[in-house]
Amino acid sequence: MIRWFLAAALCWVAAAPYTAVAETAALDDGFDIAGIDDTPRRRGVEHPPWFKHSFLDLREDLREALERGKRGIIVYFGQRDCAYCEALMQVNWGREADIVAYTRKHFDVIAIDIWGAREVTDLQGRVLTERELAVRERTHFTPSLIFYDGWGREALRLRGYYPPYKFRAALEYVVDGFYLTESLRDYLARADPPPKFDLGDLNEEPFFDAPPHALCRRRIPADRPLVVFFEQRECHACDILHSDPLQDARTRDLLERFQVVQLDMWAETPVITPAGERSTAREWAERLGLFYAPSLVFFDERGHEVFRLDSVARLYRLRNVLHYVLEKGYLEVPLQRWQEDRQRRAQGTKKARGASPAGP
């Protein structure tokens, strides 16, 4: 946490959000994201008992929340066998008592099963099944949270798991109304400003392309998809990504099939984007709305963004996303649906092999 103390001393910004600053000295509140085991297995994730027992009419849920003096509602999209949903329930909305109290004070939380068949009435009065709503809202990347304010407007959307420090800041960002005047990226940058001088280099990998970064592929399509690693210096989550998932042999084999670029999301490094625009790494990351490091943004051969991984990701989630992009699953179905179909096909193949007679 040397970065924080030095940066805070030199770059303090008045009126920065209190928790985002005060809690930075502790490494994500002591929760090491390396502790997430995302090995595929049965988990049976259970929701906290204080989640609202809703009839899934979001209009009524919002009205009742406001009557009790709350700021709005959070619609949580999850599934029972998701390691990242489990971390959200056990850590942020489990172990962290202040986060639990703050959430309950300001929001009602309504749970949606992304595979569920229950009917949901949305804030516009339309009726859909849980599964249809998840597809419409592109929230199959679990956990996903949509924050709605008192007027029924979307205030914030989070895709994936964020450790306690980031999650606290996101809650305050909505409750204090900052979503009306600035992006979450700018809000977090005020609280934990990036260093103004070098405190250490980015993690290097042999598969990262060397600069200059001319990534334009709109006029002449590339022969491989592109993934851009937006990182920052002195980044614990970046270190974890490089020390475990990116050292996996199968992951590296998959990355060989991409063009892979690394950028410091706060640097003025010149770059020509896949759309052919001249920019800097910092400007591009800001335009993309990136606030979490590391964020991996994927582009197809013609330079269209097809997916982004901008939350905590361990080995199996990273590997699944790489397969998803390489196999162009995004042209067919959302990631979780594609992953379920892929696992089902693999299990069917194993059963067929087990039932076939032995060869010579």
Within-domain flag for 357: no
How much is the pLDDT for 279?
Answer: 98
The Cα angle at residue 319 between residues 318 and 322, in degrees rounded to 5? 90
How far is 222 from 300, CA to CA, in rounded Å? 8
Q: Does 159 lie in the same domain as 223?
A: no
Answer yes or no: do 234 and 172 share one domain: no
Are 223 and 175 in a shared domain?
no
C-alpha to C-alpha distance for 201 and 326, rounded to whole angstroms: 30
* Residue at 331 is within a domain: yes
For 100, the 3-state DSSP assignment is helix
What pLDDT is stored for residue 353 in this prediction? Answer: 58
| Residues 159 and 307 grouped into a single domain | no
Name the domain count of the chain: 2
Alpha-carbon span 201 to 267, nearest angstrom: 12
Q: What is the pLDDT of residue 26?
A: 39
Q: What is residue 201's predicted lDDT score, i.e. its pLDDT?
A: 84
pLDDT at 288 (0 to 100) = 97
Helix or strand holding residue 8 (H, E): helix 2-11
Q: Residue 169 domain-assigned?
A: yes
Q: Is residue 96 part of a domain?
A: yes
Whether residues 186 and 80 share a domain: the answer is: yes
CA angle 223, 227, 231 (to 5 degrees): 155
Range of the domain at 233: 213-340
Q: What is the pLDDT of residue 195?
A: 63
Are residue 185 and residue 222 in the same domain, yes or no?
Answer: no
256 with 141, same domain: the answer is: no
CATH of the domain at 263: 3.40.30.10
Q: According to the model, what pLDDT value does residue 268 have? A: 96
Regarding whether 173 and 222 lie in a shared domain, the answer is no
Same domain, 161 and 249: no
Residue 170 sits in the same domain as residue 250 = no
At 351 the pLDDT is 62
| Rounded average pLDDT per 10-residue block, the chain, 360 residues | 32 34 40 85 95 98 98 97 96 96 98 97 98 94 97 98 95 98 94 65 94 95 97 92 94 98 97 97 97 97 97 96 97 88 74 48
Q: Is residue 347 part of a domain?
A: no
Could you tell me if 218 and 332 lie in one domain? yes
Would you say residue 235 lies in a domain?
Answer: yes
Please check whether residues 171 and 220 belong to one and the same domain: no
Q: For residue 350, is it within any domain?
A: no
Strand partners for 129: 119
